[in-house]
Amino acid sequence: MKILKLSAIAALSCLLTSTLSAEDVKPKRVLKGNMMEVYNTLPKSVDNFVDAFTEGMFYGRLRANLFEYDFKNNDNIDNKAFGLGGSLIYKTAPFAGLSATAGLYYSNSPFSSLREDDAGSVKSGKDTFSRYNVDKNGDWEMVVLAQAYLQYDISKTSFKVGRQIFESALTASNDTKMIPNTFEGVSVESKDIAKTTLKAAYFTAQKLRDHTTFHDVLTYTDGSTDTHADWNNNDDSGAHKGITYAALKAANKDTDNTLIVAALSNKSIKNLKIDATYTAVPDMLSSVIGELNYTIPLGGITIAPGVRYMEQFDNGAGKIGGASLAGGVTDANAASKGYKSGYSLDTSLWMARLVASAGAFKGQIGYSKVEDKADIVAPWRGFPTGGYTRAMAQLNWKADAQTIMFEAKYDFEKANILDGFSAMARYAIQDSDEKKQASGGQADLSIIHIDLLQKFTPTLDAKIRLGFVDADNRTSGVNKDSYNEYRFEINYLF
């Protein structure tokens, strides 16, 4: 491992001292603003089995992420984190429609000065290492085969079996740290119907970004007696901490859950995009999301109103974990903890936005409101309010929460001002229900979120991310929710 550490550091050093000149050829792969990978070049089909491997392609990535978290309340623990690593993905050439992909990912925190003694105190930077592995054996490295799947293509339809990335309304790679969120199972995506994309998946396991093993898609804690058993199953920030291994066993429920997703996206009507998504953990809970976005061209300006509605159905999970993501809410104490029903996860969420684009500028205003019934369960890294009102690191889908957000983006390169530079700023006001602070709810707050991106070449970029949160005191009189966050990341694709 020491050799691997030194190799990674040396490679990154060589990268940063290399000439930052524009590349003459179109890169094999680029990153979208949310760090999703877009493949420009894929292996071409071959006519024999041996060529499927010899004509395959490698896709490499070096990356680093630095985090600084500064609480305004000195009783909270300020923290920092640093991750250095990358990934190597190999895709075989398709043979008779059949191909394979393997993606090996590595992350390390090589500098002890950028590690916290208490790994559990680290906030956003925790995805640069595995808290469970650090606690268990002091291991700050992660080596993960996060992607490993077979693929079969016929016409415009692709089937995948194995470890894979799957993007939908509530599932996402969310690859903004070191290692993406991936799933194990079967999926299909089809574009055989004109102007329509159909997707479906059946997943038996999930690997969160700070995990080195795959785990259950819903269960919180692993059932062991380890000090931090809660770090070795689904411990996502959107996980339901009341749906524990012990609680499921006590209710005679399976601790090996599956995740089912079905999604449709259609653009048959001019300027209108229709999306619908069904997500379910059988015998636990399910949801339906519908979304409409309409584009209105007005000369040099484009206006695009959009709406999204989500209905969550309780199919048994509420009786086990309660109405709050924090757990601990029952019919007996629901009123004192701010909930109308202790054992129901039935609830809804609606959002609306208005987007305006003109040349290098894009701005929007968005609003979201969660019904005052139960929290939204979404531990699969797709954010229910994403694209509407979610600012960096915020979970704003607890019951009775409402958010308004203003966002502005400016592409300085498109405006012929500064090559490769773009900026984004968000200002969000989150109004939470004070009564729910007894069950893990936040105080009312506002957040300023700024992203500054510099693309040196099509495959090398650096980003600074800033978050400034100003929150009210909680009902206890203590300010637990105000902080400043600083992030720096660099990515190189080859």
Q: Cα–Cα distance between 40 and 89 in angstroms, integer?
A: 14
Q: What confidence score (pLDDT) does residue 6 get?
A: 41
Tokens 């139960």 belong to which residue? 374
Burial of 75 (0-12, 13-18, 19+ CB in 10 A): exposed
Q: What confidence score (pLDDT) does residue 3 get?
A: 41
- Three-state DSSP at 429 gives strand
Q: Residues 6 or more apart from 182 whose CB is under 8 A from it?
A: 146, 147, 163, 164, 165, 166, 173, 206, 207
Contact between residue 399 and residue 370 where contact means Cβ atoms under 8 Å apart: yes
Report angle CA 269, 261, 291 to the nearest 5 degrees. 35
Q: Residue 301 is part of a domain; what is its CATH number?
A: 2.40.160.10
The arithmetic mean of pLDDT across residues 71-81, rounded, is: 95
- pLDDT digits over 100-155, tens only? 999 999 999 999 999 999 999 999 999 999 999 999 999 999 999 999 999 999 99
Q: What confidence score (pLDDT) does residue 25 get?
A: 72
Confidence band of 22 (pLDDT split at 50, 70, 90)? very low
Residues of the chain with pLDDT > 90: what percent?
Answer: 93
Give kind and range of the element (H or E) at residue 351. strand 347-358
Phi, psi of 434 (to 5 degrees): -60, -30
Q: Cα–Cα distance between 469 and 487 in angstroms, integer?
A: 14
Q: Residues 6 or more apart from 39 whose CB is under 8 A from it?
A: 28, 29, 59
Q: What confidence score (pLDDT) does residue 377 get?
A: 98
Confidence band of 96 (pLDDT split at 50, 70, 90)? very high
- pLDDT digits over 420-435, tens only? 999 999 999 999 999 9
Tokens coding 335: 């009123």
Parallel, antiparallel, or unpaired for β 445-457 and 272-281? Answer: unpaired
Give kind and range of the element (H or E) at residue 135. helix 131-137
Q: Cα–Cα distance between 175 and 127 in angstroms, integer?
A: 10
| Structural domain total, the chain | 1
- pLDDT digits over 333-366, tens only? 999 999 999 999 999 999 999 999 999 999 999 9
Q: What confidence score (pLDDT) does residue 26 get?
A: 85
The per-residue pLDDT of the chain, averaged, comes to 94
The arithmetic mean of pLDDT across residues 293-313, rounded, is: 97
Q: What confidence score (pLDDT) does residue 440 get?
A: 86
Q: Which domain holds residue 443?
A: 2-493
- Three-state DSSP at 94 gives coil
Q: What confidence score (pLDDT) does residue 10 get?
A: 46
Model-level pTM? Answer: 0.93
Torsion sign (Cα): 252, 255, 256, 260: positive
How many CB atoms lie under 10 A from the CB of residue 445?
A: 22
Tokens coding 116: 């916290």
Parallel, antiparallel, or unpaired for β 361-370 and 301-314? Answer: unpaired
Q: Is the pLDDT of residue 327 over 50?
A: yes
- pLDDT digits over 206-257, tens only? 999 999 999 999 999 999 988 899 999 999 999 999 999 999 999 999 999 9
* Short-list 426, 364, 365, 422, CA closest to 394: 426
- Three-state DSSP at 359 gives coil
